[in-house]
Structure formats: C-alpha cells, structure tokens
Structure 1
Amino acid sequence: MQNKVLVTGGTGFVGTQIIFQLLEKGYMVKTTVRSFKSKDRVIDVLKSNGVSAIENLSFAEADLSKDEGWDEAMEDCEYVLSVASPVFFDIPKDENEVIRPAIDGIIRILKAANRSKVKRVVMTSNFGAVGFSKKNGAQEVTTENDWTDENEPGISAYEKSKLLAEKAAWSYIETEGKQLEFATINPVAIFGPSLNNHVSGSFDLLKSLLNGSTKRVADIPLNVVDVRDVADLHIRAMVTPEAKGQRFIASADGQISMMEIAELIRKERPELAYKIPTKKLPNVLIEAGALVNKHAREGKLFLDMNRNVSNDKAKKLLEWSPISTNEQAVLAAVDSLVEYGLVD
C-alpha cells in the first residue's frame, strides 16, 4: 500500500487546507468530491495558493449519504482524514434530519475503511462534542476527557449531530472496528486565512460585526483556532503512533470575547470600523431571551460554558504548537472576508 491519504470533502474550508499541507509535505493525496465537476475548482484554488505538486492529487466521487464510491476511494489509501460533513441547502426543521446523516456518514466511512484495510482514520469532530456541558463554575479545565450532554439546553442541532456522530464512531471502533486505528480532532471556532471564498460557519460571527447586522455586541467569550493549526493537527494525529484511540482539542492558547474581537478590528482594521457596534448587549437580556427564544438559548449556553480549555494534550502527545494567537487568527479571517468580498 502506498503512503497515500484520502481526504473527504476536498472542497471545504478545512479539507482544502489539509490537502494543501499534505501536498506541501510530499504526500500522495486523494480527495472525495460529490461531483467530478468540482475537480477544477479544487485544483485552481491550490494552484493559486502556490501548490506545484498537483500531479500528486487525485479525485474520487463519493457522497456521505450513499454507499457507492467509498470502497473505490479507499482501496489504495493508508490513511483517511474524515473531514466532510453532510450538506444541507435548506435548514431542516427537524434536528434528526441533521443528526441522522452525520451518524450514517461517519459509520459509512469507517466501514469502508475497515473493508479496505486502511491503517488509521482521523475524524474531524467538534468542541461541541467536548465542552458544552462544563459551566463557568467549574474550577478544573475542560479537556478531552469531557463529553457534552446531548440533552444540554441550548445545544444546536449541528453541535448535537457532531457529538452523536463522534459517539457513534467510537462505539463502532470498540465493537466492529477494533482493528482500525482511530482518532478525533475537536476544533473550537475555526478562523484564520481562507484559500478561497469557502469559509467556515464560525466566520458568521465576524460577518455580523462587520456588516452592521448586529447593533449591540453580546460579550460572549470564545475559544478560537487557526485553520492552519487544525490541518496541522490532523496530519500529526494521522502519523503519530501514540495518537491511536485519542481525542485532541484544537484551540489556540487562552480565549477572546466578542467585545475584544470588535475592539481588535476597530484598532487593527480601522477602515472596517464604521459598522462595528460599540454598545454591549447586557447578559441579562440574553438570559431573559433564553426563556422564550431558541437562538437566545444557544447564546446563553455560550455565555455559561467554561472557557478554561486545555490544548496541552496536543502539545505534549503530538508535539504541536499553534502558529496563531487568538488575535492573529481573527484578523486573518477578517482579511479573508474582505479579500473574497464576503462582507458588505
């Protein structure tokens, strides 16, 4: 078997960055796309960002919602980086329409990897699977030993889907897939520079500040991470023997609040400051709104959860160190939003 890596979801924000780094490191890379029509777009993005080893990249057509194509995609690969998530063009009203495809998708990948004798699968999970149930009153830090309660008030359907998909994956590994090596990366809010106009959902927080749609800033604390650090962690978890059977929180050191982000942009990118609100949304309004409004409940959860998050495990076990501070990751994301015309 060649030292080839399959990256699912090659057109995505994180997936493209992982492919970029793998090619730069000399790996043979295969990526899945839902349609071969996307091939040229991926190649153009990589070339425009300086990748010269395009000949080391190949494509496979596969969809997380279907069995077809996955065995062929994995047949000559040693590693699988399971990055892709189910795509919804309309927001489902029933959370099960989000959760079921996420669970089915990762199990489909693990079964195909098992059949194809893949050595290791690294899954892109989410901090929502780790730290949403440990609240500010907790004195200890949030680590990979923590799990979010699936019934946590305010947890979004997306975060719940990532939680239950990761639980289902570990359950499969512990039963049918014992011979398959497995690890997860659990990123907090992902910022940093984008290679094209496809950005992560976390960027919506910055868009709301920059486009004037938010009149007052909810001073919610955040943990953030640079997408380049997330990609680096995937690769380290893929090749480090000790990463087998482990979870890794992907986070920069410390935390940053929404109010601090607003002040940072005003200071460092003053040309964008004119729409950024200066008034704070009182926490009491978020707490009151949480009694009747779903979005306010999600905001209250973000307000209440413990933000003393440890990235020590990745540092020690994978010899990883984030290249970006919170501030650098935020500003790089802001610059990408401007570069690709994603803010008004």
Structure 2
Amino acid sequence: MERSKKETVLVTGGSGFVGSYCIIQLLKEGYTVRTTIRSLDKIDSLKETLLAGEANNMQNLTFIAANLTSDENWDKAVEGCDYVLHVASPFPAGEPKNENEIIIPARDGAIRILRTAQAAKVKRVVLTSSFAAIGYTINPKNHVFTETDWTDPNVKLPAYIKSKTIAERAAWDFMEKNAGAMELVVINPVGIFGPVLGKKFSSSIGMIVQLLSGKMPGTPQLSFGIVDVRDVADIHIKAMKNPAANGQRFLATSDGMISFPGIAKVLKADSNLPVDKVPSKILPNWLVKVSSWFKPELKPIVPQLGVVKTLSNAKAKSVLNWSPRPKEATIRETAESLVNFKIV
C-alpha cells in the first residue's frame, strides 16, 4: 500500500467529520498529509479521533493553526502541497441573526484558499460544497437534480444554504478570472451520515441521536438524500486524482432519498440497537408548521415538508467510478457507532 511520499495533500478543517475521514483515507493510501485546525490545542483530541477511525502512518501527518477568517499561516499551510482538499466551512448551530455571519467566512475562506493555493503552484483544489448549492430553488416536480442545477441565492433562503451557494459560485468565478495551471473540482454532498469517531458529532447525525433517545415525539414528513462520510472522503480523493474530474462538480448521494419515518423504520429493524424510544408516530405537516411558530429551529424545514426530490449520482459513478454504500447500511452503522461511544 505504501506509495511515494512525494505527494503532499492539505486537508482544511481536519477536526471536522469529513476532514477526519479524508485524513484517515489519505494516510492509508500513503500520502503525506497536512491539516489545518483552528487551534493547536486540538491536536491530541484530533489524533484520538483519527486513531478511533483506524488511521495508520500517523508519522506522515502534520498540523498547522489557521482560520478561514484570517490570512495568517495559509501560505505556510499550502507551501509544497500538490493538492488541497478544502473541506472546512462554517456550519451554524442555528439560524444566525445576520446571514453574513456565515456567508462572508464561507465565501472569503474559499477565495483565500484558492488564492494562496494558486500562488503556491498547487496542482488541484477539491472544494467541498453541498447539495444546498444545487437543489433549493428549482421546482422538484418531474425534475431530476444533477450537477447542472444551481440554487438561486437571490431567493429567500436559510443562511447555510445561501452561504454554500455563494461560496461555490465565488470559487468558480475566481477560477475563471484567474486562469492558470491550477485546477478546481467541487463535491456537492447531501446529508452526511456514517460512523462517529468520538463524542463529537455533526448536526445531521444529531437527527439519529434524537430519534434513538426519544427526543422526537414523532417523525416529520421530511425527505432528504443521505451519503456515507466514508464515501464522501472517497469521492474527494477520487476527484483529486482523476484527470477527467478537472473543472467538474459532482453530486455525492447514495441512491434515492429517505424520509424521517423511513429512517425510524430502518432503525427499528436493527436488533442490535436500543430502539424502544424511536417514535412510530408520523407528525402531520400542519402540526410541524404550527410548532415552528414556537420553535424557531423548525422554521427552515417547513418549506421542505412533504417535498420529495429525485437526485442523480450517475455522473460521479461514471466519471469517477464511485460506488456509494446503500443508505440503510449507513443509517444502521451511524446508530451502532452512537451506541458504541455511549452517546445514546
């Protein structure tokens, strides 16, 4: 498995869910890896996370402190790198008072990385965008969402969806205006699930925690795409290496969408899980709408109630030879990891 150590990859946001799995897979493939974290105080806990994911070749990993909102240390971070996986992006705990709290760091952070990577003669940057930049303003009726679709940022949208759209647009605009040898590929994942590597988990996985711990009285009729974090790391690395990926976007999703009631059903069918608190009741849409008046965190989901979108992963499969896991397996393994780490 050892390969030439000459190729160095920078992973931004190494302490995040996707960043950690990208590091693990790159180390397994024998790359020299550098990662940025906001503070070097996090090194020990990140190492613990990576070891929980069975990372090897840890001697080939170095850490650098850098923040998306400042120029400091980015030139050091990219120096001598062949590739950059720009995974880091601000994700809000809730809807911010001012959408620019998320939009500006996401957009400016992406440009900061591209500018410093280009100056350092990096071969290719793989940018993590989101399905948020593809599928939120087109009428889903009789429509198959693909990489050619774009969310319109001029429509009223939750701040996170808007931030991902604006940041990705800015990245493509930068590449157009600053044509050079450096290449850009963009990955647009749907909701990312998969085995946690410690007590910290992403907001999408929080949904499974809520279902298993009985914090949800019933399941809303909300459907979305799911992709396994291990497959997200895999598609980033395939996109980094494959010459045909240059200048392309790739929608990363397992086959078909799933609803909250569908997830509850998958969990209940797994005999290894503590499922006695998983709700059987399906919440009517009107009840969720009324509840959103008192619980602002429900507001962003209201427009998506009862909406089912058709998503295509054909491009990633054919161009990158990517084969995502079935979503049911991802849900089960996510839940099992939450039990193993005693989160539920």
TM-score by length of 1: 0.92
The 10-residue stretch of structure 1 (305-314 or 121-130) with the greater mean CA deviation from structure 2: 305-314
The 10-residue stretch of structure 1 (101-110 or 290-299) with the greater mean CA deviation from structure 2: 290-299
Alignment check: 8 A CA contact 2:24 2:54 kept = no
Query: Which string of whole-angstrom CA distances, capped at 9 and with x for unpartnered residues, describes residues 283-333 of structure 1?
Result: 2444566799755542233235552100000001101111x2111111111
Give the corresponding residue for 2:117: 113
Give the corresponding residue for 2:330: 329
Q: Which amino acid aligns with 1:71?
A: D
- Match of 1:117, SS state, is coil
% identical aligned pairs: 44
Inter-CA distance 319–198: structure 2 relative to 1 (3 Å threshold): same
Alignment check: 8 A CA contact 2:273 2:335 kept = no
Inter-CA distance 68–177: structure 2 relative to 1 (3 Å threshold): farther
The 10-residue stretch of structure 1 (43-52 or 291-300) with the greater mean CA deviation from structure 2: 291-300
Q: CA deviation at 1:114?
A: 1.0
- Match of 1:272, SS state, is coil
Q: Distance in 1 between matches of 2:213 and 2:342?
A: 12
Q: Distance in 2 between matches of 1:274 and 1:306?
A: 28
Paired residue for 2:222, among 216, 220, 223?
A: 220
Give the corresponding residue for 2:90: 86
1:51 paired with 2:52, answer no
Q: Which amino acid aligns with 1:131?
A: G
Task: Output aligned runs, 1:5-84, within 5 Å.
Answer: 5-84=9-88
CA RMSD in angstroms comes to: 2.2
Q: Which amino acid aligns with 2:148?
A: N
Alignment check: 8 A CA contact 1:134 1:306 kept = no
- Match of 1:106, SS state, is helix
Alignment check: 8 A CA contact 1:32 1:62 kept = yes
Q: CA deviation at 1:281?
A: 1.0
Q: Distance in 2 between matches of 1:223 and 1:89?
A: 21
Q: Distance in 2 between matches of 1:339 and 1:4?
A: 34
TM-score by length of 2: 0.92
Q: Distance in 2 between matches of 1:210 and 1:12?
A: 23
1:171 paired with 2:160, answer no
Alignment check: 8 A CA contact 1:65 1:86 kept = no
Q: CA deviation at 1:210?
A: 1.9
1:126 paired with 2:130, answer yes
Q: Distance in 1 between matches of 2:15 and 2:239?
A: 21
Q: Structure 1, unaligned stretches of length 5 or more?
A: none
Q: CA deviation at 1:105?
A: 0.8
Inter-CA distance 271–36: structure 2 relative to 1 (3 Å threshold): closer
Inter-CA distance 253–243: structure 2 relative to 1 (3 Å threshold): same
Query: Which string of whole-angstrom CA distances, capped at 9 and with x for unpartnered residues, describes residues 17-48 of structure 1?
Result: 00000011111111111122222222233234
Paired residue for 1:100, among 92, 98, 104?
A: 104
Q: Distance in 2 between matches of 1:82 and 1:157?
A: 20
- Match of 2:187, SS state, is strand
Alignment check: 8 A CA contact 2:36 2:64 kept = yes
Q: CA deviation at 1:87?
A: 6.5
Q: Distance in 2 between matches of 1:161 and 1:186?
A: 13
Task: Output aligned runs, 1:243-322, within 5 Å.
Answer: 243-269=245-271, 271-286=273-288, 295-303=297-305, 305-322=307-324
Inter-CA distance 97–51: structure 2 relative to 1 (3 Å threshold): closer
- Match of 1:185, SS state, is strand
1:142 paired with 2:160, answer no
Q: CA deviation at 1:200?
A: 2.1
Q: CA deviation at 1:335?
A: 1.5
Inter-CA distance 168–48: structure 2 relative to 1 (3 Å threshold): same
Q: Which amino acid aligns with 2:149?
A: D
Q: Structure 2, unaligned stretches of length 5 or more?
A: none
Inter-CA distance 87–150: structure 2 relative to 1 (3 Å threshold): closer
Q: Distance in 1 between matches of 2:289 and 2:330?
A: 29
Paired residue for 2:184, among 182, 185, 188?
A: 182
The 10-residue stretch of structure 1 (222-231 or 280-289) with the greater mean CA deviation from structure 2: 280-289
Q: Which amino acid aligns with 1:332?
A: E
Q: CA deviation at 1:3?
A: 1.1
Alignment check: 8 A CA contact 2:223 2:307 kept = no
